[in-house]
Structure 1
Amino acid sequence: MGDTEAWENFAAATAACAARGLISRYPQTEKSLAVESKNQMEMVFKSQADIACLRDLYITSPPNDKIRIEQTKGGLLLDAYAWILKNDQYKQWIEDPSTCLLWIRGDPGKGKTMLLCGIIDQLQGSELSGNLYYFFCQATDSRLNNASSILRGLLHMLISKQPSLISYVRNEYDKSGKLIFEDSNSWVVLSQIFLRTLEDPSITDLTFIIDALDECLGDLPNLLKLIRQTSSSSRIRWLVSSRNEADIQEVLLYTENRSIVNLELNAESVSAAIKTYIDHKVELLSGKKRYQQDMRDSIREYLANNADGTFLWVALVCEMLEKAPSFDRSLESARYPRGLDNLYERMITKVCNGELDWGRRILSINTVARRPLSIQELETLTFYPESVDITVESLEKRWEEALGYCGNFLTQRKGVVYFIHQSAKDFILNKASYRLFCEGMEHVNKHIFKISISVIISTLKRDIYGLSKPGFLTGDLTSQDIPSPDPLAPVGYCCVYWIDHFEKSILLSGDSEGEELISTLLSKKYLYWLESLSLLKSMHQGQIGMRKLEKLLINTESPGLKERIWDARRFIQMFGKAIGDAPLQVYISALLFSPAESITRKQFSAEAPHWVKDLGR
């Protein structure tokens, strides 16, 4: 029997054992099920299965995203969005059942997201509140910038309100588990689930809201097609926002039953809203800086004359004024130039010309990161963690000051660092990349890759959360089960994304150090890494990463590395599901059912319990 066939047979045996519950009943397992009757067991299983399905469907909490966005932007001001409620196109969408799609379009910084936040608040106070579902796209977060994630978010909100609809998800979920939401065919499966759900007889008057369609980087054409297809139904209405981008216009402009609010054509209303916003910001600023009336009037006039119909420009200038020394009250246009790009140019110049290289390093790492970084993760990537001995509280205070070196491009909310706006990151990538990345982006990616491998090797260990029970399920993991401080908090990003950064740094030729680091990780920490992926609920990313790594190093000349990667990829492919469900099974069922000649099995044979070693002989 060949190695490949052996892997497949052992994987099938593992799946069969898992299905019959054998994996969670090894001698060391204390978990058991008390079932009084067959009917009762079926009822409990159905309930647990529904909960597991809904948990695996989860990708984000749109209500929490809304709160974060509003707080990050300084709060939602009623007078700044009230104009839209009187807009003829908006009223047509609200009042005319045949108008099933409203598209709010406008240039960056025009306040589209806050406009939608205000609309959501208004709809939640109306008769439509019970059937309102929404999603905020984020291009800077690889988890939230694709069409599959959008459907997951909408479906999760929908099913949470109408539990009976979970049957449409279970029909597919029961076949393959969480993988159907994450693999390369996820859009196909999720869109089919979504369409079938919308055909349910109980569905009436659903309202779906999607903010920032232009920040959907994956499968956008398919999403637009689905919106166009379903907007012909009188039971479903859509509200979407986006920039004025050609690929979106090509679909939505020619969609029937639609209404459009063009912010550039509503300049008078937007300008009036910005004036209200300026008054609000100046009062807040004056309260903090103790400005006299003449200074208030001067700032208000300057902002009004230079805002150019852009909320974001006003917000950035007010933030700069707030951080300026109290004696520095100048408002020369050279310091706060008109227009977003001009202001961003001033900000990047400050970063690149600063005496310390800290700001450039922080900003460059956040620019190439695959998702927003927590302060602890950013600390790890900016400094070697072994040189840092500091509490989380003082760390947050320290990074409040540190972000000041980044020219106002970044902000932090509840310990997570974000770009102030997608247009800020777009400016860096499209117009200032050569200034921020003097040696090229691949050098920053290499830096992140090397530090990631370093901290994985120095931090990860067996049973890092001290769970003890081999049958402990990730679905049962609560905050009480996680040690404080969480040992994975500083290294979570590194565990999930190190392969992505290796891929982006591979353009640097003649560097064998990376392959040596990978070899060390696979030979010494591979099982611990798989356990951490399970605890981080990122096993699928690990499976994708290992397939990617195998292709990247197909021609490696490093002795034995190609074979080790092949074996490691097969290991995670075959046992990733079981390990993802129960992290400590990586040391038991995965090793037990691995082929006897598996490199991974031989390398980590000492990790298996003695009874597994005996069974495996």
Structure 2
Amino acid sequence: LDSLPYAPNAAFNALEKGDDPLCIRGTRVDVLNDIRKWIDGEDKRHIFWLSGWAGTGKSTIARTVARKYYGKSRLVASYFFSKGGGDTGNATKFVGTIARQLAGKLPEFERLLRKALSKDKDIVHRVLKDQWQELIITPLAQLPVDSLPSPLIVVDALDECDTESSIRQVLQLLADTRNQNRQLLRILITSRPEVPIRDEFSRFLPGEHQLILQDISKFIVDQDISIFLKHNLAQISPEDEIVAQLVRKAAGLFIWAATACRFICEGLWFWTAIFCGFVREGLIVKQWLQTLVMSNTTPEDHLDAIYLTVLNSSLHSRFSPQDITDFHGTVRDVLGSMVTLFSFLSVKSLSILLLKPEKDLTWTMKDLHAILDFPKDNASALRLHHPSFRDFLLNRERCRDSYFLVDEKQAHQMLANNCIRLLSTYLKQDVCKVNSPGMLTAGVERNQVDQCLPPEVQYACHYWIQHLQKSGAQLRDNDKVHRFLQEHLLNWLEALSWMRKVSEGINAINSLQSIALTSDCPRLYAFIYDIKRFALYHRSAIEQAPLQIYYCALVF
């Protein structure tokens, strides 16, 4: 099963998701009951689509359902998509991950899966539709009827998948599970009501169960948000009037309420004020509410207002004009990187990649706990609390403060340049110090690879071409990309081999060839064409023993 493409962080209970919230008792009662009745009942519809605007609580509901049925041993697989989550930001490992999880829960499915893999060893390199048919559909259809009653699969945040094409593919795959076995397989899908998703549901899944969160009674949603606020603000015991104002400001968005609670309770300014006795708790919350007065009243406007309030609150009154300029520049660079990274990094790794002192990054972001999820240890990744903050920073219509607005192409260009700079200074022959040209990849412990190739270097190896592609940059003969490939191509491919990501590297070379094709760089294009031929021809040798690449290059 190790040959299957696998994203361990996709599961709802992956190690790094230990602090992700569940629904508080007494909230979302009707929604959870509807989903429970569908899972446990005789309803023949095998898919339940829970849709809603950003911040309406879809992922929290999905986690709550997954946790409940995981405890009942009926959850057989879960895949939580996440932009910036590395492998969980795309669909390339979707089938392999679902198959691995199903095999872990159903012994008979595992036997059938092993049989399918031994029958066609190259299936993992084929298109997702063929993978799904051979690795999921066929084994499911052969399972005994009583192997597991009403097994459940949860697919969360489908709109976070990287491309519309991938979203359509995933929906088509899930539609293909209908009537493929004699059990009532249940699939819960959550997403925003994006046009491509709505169109695909109408096309492939007409008549399936659908619940739209924004259609739920405002009275019920406000009650839930009130319970949520009282629970999370229990340490300051807010007056009912304060809670009522917060509920009105939330406008049905749980993410607004959650951000407000973190801003109130975790902000350094709040506890300083309380400790020094400057103001009473109720008064400081009232003063804070006054900063959220807006002329517009759409839910998105409410959310944007609180994000701007959090960002502006991090500017201290003691800042000089130059301090403010420097602060804005650092915040824009850091946040611009965070919302365009393909996989989140720790503060330490981010500081090395951005060439900024770690203490400066920590100081700059210390008052942004309301929107950034700071890890408990320095080695863990710094994450956004919610993807809606990414949408806010990248949208000129929503982020009306030009000091914080992120130009997506510029952010990708900066990251591409920094990745190339880092790799140019770090990569070398035999980077893992094995001192043996015949050493197999399988013979080197993963921790040795991680020590010799730290997270920021592995990130740069994996994603530098993707950042280049997203930046919209044009390539030129003898530019920094051309020079990097001339000097460090073999070192880069060696590092990818130690990382077990040669396939991803070949895909990246294909993308680089596409960029070169539309650029004025005939010599670079010819060079990339040769690189592609070389990597494909010697792929097997490079994957097995990375240092063979230097001998293969001589032969080639």
AA at the equivalent of 2:414 = H
Correspondence 1:335 to 2:286: no
2:340 aligned residue (356, 365, 368):
368
* 1:301-360 Cα distance to aligned partner (Å, 9 max, x none): 432332222211111111111214132724343424572133234456668995412111
Greater C-alpha Rg:
1
Deviation, 1:240, is 1.4
Q: Is the 8 A contact 2:95 2:128 kept in 1?
A: no
Q: CA-to-partner distance for each residue in 1:410-457, whole Å, 9 max, x for gaps?
A: 323352122221222122223357836879443333322222211111
Q: Which residue of structure 1 aligns with residue 42 of structure 2?
A: 96
1:122 equivalent among 41, 49, 68:
68
1:460 maps to 427
2:212 corresponds to 1:262 = yes
Q: Name the structure 1 match of 2:97.
A: 153
Query: Does the C-alpha gap of structure 1 residues 402 and 159 become closer, same or farther in structure 2, counting only changes over 3 Å?
Result: farther
Whole-Å separation in 1 of the counterparts to 2:461 and 2:509: 12
Amino acid at match of 1:167: R
**Is the Cα contact below 8 Å between 2:129 and 2:173 reproduced in 1?**
no
Return the offset for 1:169. 4.6
Asked whether the 8 Å contact 1:460–1:528 carries over to 2, the reply is yes
Kindly tell me: are residues 460 and 298 of structure 1, through their superposed partners in 2, closer, same or farther at Cα, counting changes over 3 Å? farther
SS in 2 for 1:569: helix
Segment drifting more, 252-261 vs 201-210: 252-261
TM-score under structure 1 length normalisation: 0.73
Which residue of the other structure, out of 53, 60, 71, is the alignment partner of 2:8? Answer: 60
Shift of 1:111: 1.2
- Contact 1:59/1:143 (CA < 8 Å) preserved in 2? yes
Counterpart-to-counterpart distance in 1, 2:23 and 2:440: 40
> Aligned equivalents of 2:233 and 2:18: distance in 1?
18
SS at match of 2:382: strand
**Is 1:445 the equivalent of 2:439?**
no
Partner of 2:448: 481
**Cα offset, 1:483, TM superposition:** 6.3
- How far is 1:529 from its partner? 0.8
How far has the Cα of 1:158 moved from its partner?
0.8
Match of 2:135 among 193, 201, 217: 193
Report the secondary structure of 2:553's partner residue. helix
2:175 pairs with 1:228: yes
Check conservation: 1:111, 1:312, Cα contact below 8 A: yes
Deviation of 1:562 (Å): 3.9
Q: Is the 8 A contact 1:58 1:152 kept in 2?
A: yes
CA deviations on 1:148-172 (whole Å, 9 max, x unpaired) are 4332221120123332132355157
Do the aligned partners of residues 95 and 186 (structure 1) sit closer, same or farther apart at CA in structure 2, a change above 3 Å counting?
closer
Does structure 1 residue 281 correspond to structure 2 residue 232?
yes
- The answer to whether residue 162 in structure 2 is matched with residue 248 in structure 1 is no
Letter in 2 for 1:566: Y
2:56 maps to what in 1? 110
State the distance in 1 between where 2:337 and 2:157 align: 24
Listed as ranges, the gaps of 5+ residues in structure 1 are: 1-49, 389-394, 596-617
SS in 1 for 2:286: coil
**Aligned mates of 1:299, 1:535 — CA distance in 2:** 56
1:239 corresponds to: 188
Aligned partners of 2:86 and 2:344 also within 8 Å: no
Secondary structure at the counterpart of residue 567 of structure 1? helix
Distance change in 2, residues 1:64/1:308 (3 Å): closer
Q: 1:88 to 1:524 in 2, by over 3 A?
A: closer
1:405–1:574 CA distance, 2 compared to 1 (3 A): farther
Of residues 478, 485, 493, the one that matches 1:530 is 493
Aligned-partner residue type, residue 539 of structure 1: V
Does 1:422 find its partner at 2:387? yes
Question: Cα distance, 1:266 vs. partner?
Answer: 3.0
What is the letter of the counterpart of residue 259 of structure 1?
A: H
Matching residue of 2:252: 309
Question: What do residues 548-590 of structure 1 show as CA deviations (whole Å, max 9, x unaligned)?
Answer: 22332347666954443332222222223332233222234x2
Q: 1:506 to 1:239 in 2, by over 3 A?
A: closer
Higher relative contact order (CA 8 A, sep 6+): 1
Asked if 2 retains the 8 angstrom alpha-carbon contact of 1:58 and 1:156, the reply is yes
2:81/2:89 contact within 8 Å kept? yes
Contact 1:110/1:311 (CA < 8 Å) preserved in 2? Answer: yes
Residue 381 (structure 1) aligned with residue 321 (structure 2): no
Q: Secondary structure at the match of 2:169?
A: helix
What runs of 5+ residues in structure 2 fail to find an aligned partner? 274-278, 316-320
Task: Select which of 517, 525, 539 maps to 2:480.
Answer: 517
TM-superposed CA distance for 1:257, in Å, is: 6.6
Matches for 1:446-595 after TM superposition, within 5 Å? 446-482=413-449, 484=451, 486-507=452-473, 515-554=478-517, 560-588=523-551, 590-591=552-553, 594-595=555-556
Q: Where does residue 276 of structure 2 map in the other structure?
A: none
CA–CA distance in structure 2, aligned partners of residues 297 and 577 of structure 1: 67
Q: Percent same amino acid at aligned positions? A: 21
Which residue number corresponds to residue 318 of structure 2? Answer: none
Question: 2: CA distance between counterparts of 1:348 and 1:168?
Answer: 55
**Contact 2:449–2:499 (Cα < 8 Å) also in 1:** no
SS in 2 for 1:421: coil
d(CA) in 1 for partners of 2:6, 2:94: 11
2:364 — aligned with what?
Answer: 402
For these two proteins, the number of residue pairs brought into alignment is: 510
